[in-house]
Structure 1
């Protein structure tokens, strides 16, 4: 048997974190088993489904690197197939027409609540029975599945173990609405049957749908897939993850400067693990993944952990790869990458300190753009009269350099320190503030090398003018 999994989002919103984790687990299990992964867009909710949401789902899956072997399939393009199966069930007596109006069903439901009875559709209720018997051919009706009334539905959940439902608590669910559109629980079964899905990995909110779907599989004579229901994801505060926790859309994480590798690595650990290992390559995830290692308990989202992982990947992935993602953020922040060093060089120098690509881009402006003011606190501390002589001497030596390397610039700083008999900080800090405009940067020699000779000279001169002006104002 070839293992076949699927991810089947509804395009009523963006691809969120919970959906992305479900997609990842389905993708990993298929890859681990040498099987196939199917992408299906469940767009039968015509009022709420939108093309922008479809586009966002496809963009999110592509950005995460979760490639699919089949699809994307769209349920709205399969209505003829669903109607064919509905007609088959009607002909076999496994489904029937229901003429009860919404108002009548609401009335029956209110009665059941008042009598403290199980609130459910009851085909044998006198009022519903009377409505169905009085109906004429051509009257508006929906189609309901004839659910078994005896026995139980038992399935062996790969995460939670055996789960059992009594058929007596399951009602005859609608499989085709009065307007002719098929319903979710029915379409899912037909799709999984037609597409040969062997394993359904999804959120625990679908557990109550599972027995209903199993009964439809059996009525169709279809193979029932294996089910695995993942626990929910909680926010940092222990409440169910929602928009109020910040970024819940996958592409919002892209916008906030996360690498897909960091988010994938983080998501896989939200419920699954392999010993104490925290960092996994995709190849390791595929090789090690198993459904029975997924936790039954809810997982709490920890933004600090995600930031730590993101910093790890910024530091350790190939600079060329990180630069390809950083370029988007440069464009988004309006920084012209052509007006400075290659982004690969920037990543190699600055990546160590950045937790996000947004941060990395923002901290890198001085490599690409000139500034007219120094950071007030840094200038007050380091661009004082005492810095004038070290800066002037460094300027003369820098202007005379014939080789522009970090090593030669380091030699300049050492020579100035030796000549003036001062410590490294007395030269390095004023130089750092002069050339970057602020008090923090990687090593000042490597920073100056990337900024470029012309800019470095101009900025040191600007710093000397700033000091002269400061002294003049003090008199």
Structure 2
């Protein structure tokens, strides 16, 4: 192909941005970036019953969140109605389309009779003009549809960039409607006109569109357009192989944002669903663009592995800037009623915790004790804060009060206390964590206490002791 690469992502605004759509957008975006091309965003909003402004905004917000910036658009099909009507009239004049006055009742009867004869139910082309054919008189007061004059013989064939050679006989195709009685165009027609006008060279989309492709190819050929390269991407399935359900499964980018997944991690994981680069699992978006090739896209469906996504997210969190993670984590802490000014800088807390978690939600949960003293749960208190442990902590309170509050000095002071009291480190460290943090699952004690600060650590320790009557 000698044309400059132009790809597009063309979602319908009938709900939230689906992760399957995000993968389609990702592959289209990456292909354009890889070849110095243009990535177009087009909103296919002609389904007036289901399309909503809220869904349009959800798509735009979702694309912004994952960071797949478009070069042109967004274009809206509802703003191109005059153009569609113009092309319909051109096709009527050229004889590649025609008016059809068949009523719904006639269509139903026609299909029923065909099925009774064991034939494939379809429109019988009764209003299609043919040499020597006399058409019925148009019924009065009936507004016709416009049908495409599909070839009646031969095959539609294309070399799919993912699935390989596909051939469909024209005898399997109907004279599909391209304009309704009120003049509004239909999906397959709008897509062709858009792709033609926007110079799209590569159409990458889900394999649920395979059946649309031969119809679109025929319409595009009738308009004299150059065919794009088509590539139909495999479905994303649940771990058990079932189809993902919008009602039951987390399928939108909003779901994953709420689960504390980083956008770059989601893209990384989606890239690996149906595409591969050797054994590489974790990579950056720049690396993906460098490596991406349609030849390495598998035609087989992929199964979504939530544990693998969490692992990939963990790798990206480890590599992420702490200040950025703080910005992303803050809302999760605010949801928990945390006042961030009541504790250390969140970026410092994140630096201490981020390698211990797999997502931002868990990161926020583990960060809570740095900002709010939580009493140890009853079961933990019973295990770690018995009379003997509390007596040890009362003695430790004095030692900590006299300690220079630096990690190394704290480490030395606690070790010296353990040796002087003739106890084990676990008899000091675990109760101290439970008393100060309300949990025993913390980073190293010296770093944790350093970040909490001397005054806050002693205040919490004193409160635990006082509440226990020690």
Name the TM tier (shorter chain).
over 0.9
Q: Could you tell me the TM-score, scaled by structure 2's length?
A: 0.95
Answer yes or no: is the 8 Å Cα contact 1:156–1:162 preserved in 2. Answer: yes
Match of 2:83 in 1: 81
Q: Distance in 1 between matches of 2:85 and 2:13?
A: 22
- What is the CA distance between 1:388 and its match in structure 2? 2.9
Match of 2:145 in 1: 142
| Superposition map of 1:175-194 within 5 A | 175-194=178-197
Q: Distance in 2 between matches of 1:137 and 1:64?
A: 54
| Superposition map of 1:383-462 within 5 A | 383-401=385-403, 403-462=404-463
* Cα RMSD after superposing both structures: 1.8
Match of 2:36 in 1: 34
After superposing the two structures, state which structure 1 stretch, 165-174 or 388-397, moved more: 388-397
Q: Distance in 1 between matches of 2:108 and 2:413?
A: 86
Match of 2:9 in 1: 7
Match of 1:312 in 2: 315
After superposing the two structures, state which structure 1 stretch, 442-451 or 147-156, moved more: 442-451
Answer yes or no: is the 8 Å Cα contact 2:373–2:437 preserved in 1. Answer: no
Answer yes or no: is the 8 Å Cα contact 1:432–1:438 preserved in 2. Answer: yes
Q: Which runs of 4 or more aligned residues in structure 1 lie more than 6 Å from their structure 2 counterparts after TM superposition? A: none
**Selected match of 2:301 from 298, 302, 318:** 298
Answer yes or no: is the 8 Å Cα contact 1:375–1:437 preserved in 2. Answer: yes
What whole-Å deviation, never above 9, does each CA across 1:360-408 have from its counterpart, x for those lacking one?
Answer: 112221111233x32112211111122234312321122223x432222
- What is the CA distance between 1:125 and its match in structure 2? 8.3
- What is the CA distance between 1:225 and its match in structure 2? 0.5
Q: Distance in 1 between matches of 2:455 and 2:136?
A: 92
Answer yes or no: is the 8 Å Cα contact 2:373–2:436 preserved in 1. Answer: no
- What is the CA distance between 1:302 and its match in structure 2? 0.6
The 1:377/1:131 distance shift into structure 2, 3 A limit, reads farther
- What is the CA distance between 1:232 and its match in structure 2? 0.6
Q: Specify every segment of 5 or more residues in structure 2 that has no aligned partner in the other structure, as ranges.
A: none
Q: Secondary structure at the match of 1:134?
A: coil
Q: Could you tell me the TM-score, scaled by structure 1's length?
A: 0.94
Q: Distance in 1 between matches of 2:248 and 2:300?
A: 20
- What is the CA distance between 1:244 and its match in structure 2? 5.5
Q: Distance in 1 between matches of 2:407 and 2:272?
A: 41
Answer yes or no: is the 8 Å Cα contact 2:41–2:75 preserved in 1. Answer: yes
- What is the CA distance between 1:327 and its match in structure 2? 1.9
Q: Distance in 1 between matches of 2:255 and 2:337?
A: 19
The 1:207/1:338 distance shift into structure 2, 3 A limit, reads same
The 1:252/1:131 distance shift into structure 2, 3 A limit, reads farther
- What is the CA distance between 1:353 and its match in structure 2? 1.6
- What is the CA distance between 1:137 and its match in structure 2? 7.0
- What is the CA distance between 1:326 and its match in structure 2? 1.1
Answer yes or no: is the 8 Å Cα contact 1:235–1:245 preserved in 2. Answer: no
**Selected match of 2:238 from 224, 235, 238:** 235
Q: Distance in 1 between matches of 2:8 and 2:90?
A: 26
Answer yes or no: is the 8 Å Cα contact 1:394–1:412 preserved in 2. Answer: no
What whole-Å deviation, never above 9, does each CA across 1:129-172 have from its counterpart, x for those lacking one?
Answer: x9962315763111111111111111000111110011111111
Q: Specify every segment of 5 or more residues in structure 1 that has no aligned partner in the other structure, as ranges.
A: 470-475
Match of 1:281 in 2: 284
| 2:271 matches 1:268 | yes
Answer yes or no: is the 8 Å Cα contact 1:201–1:229 preserved in 2. Answer: yes
Answer yes or no: is the 8 Å Cα contact 2:101–2:139 preserved in 1. Answer: no
Q: Distance in 2 between matches of 1:368 and 1:332?
A: 13
Q: Distance in 2 between matches of 1:244 and 1:131?
A: 52
Q: Say how many residue pairs are matched.
A: 464
Q: Distance in 2 between matches of 1:285 and 1:100?
A: 52
Q: Secondary structure at the match of 2:204?
A: strand
Match of 2:136 in 1: 133
What whole-Å deviation, never above 9, does each CA across 1:257-289 have from its counterpart, x for those lacking one?
Answer: 111111111100000001111111111100000
Match of 1:473 in 2: none
- What is the CA distance between 1:320 and its match in structure 2? 1.8
Q: Distance in 2 between matches of 1:388 and 1:151?
A: 88
Q: Distance in 1 between matches of 2:179 and 2:134?
A: 18
- What is the CA distance between 1:42 and its match in structure 2? 0.2
Match of 2:211 in 1: 208
Q: Secondary structure at the match of 1:116?
A: coil
The 1:242/1:294 distance shift into structure 2, 3 A limit, reads same
After superposing the two structures, state which structure 1 stretch, 107-116 or 188-197, moved more: 107-116
| Superposition map of 1:90-101 within 5 A | 90-101=92-103
Q: Distance in 1 between matches of 2:261 and 2:336?
A: 15
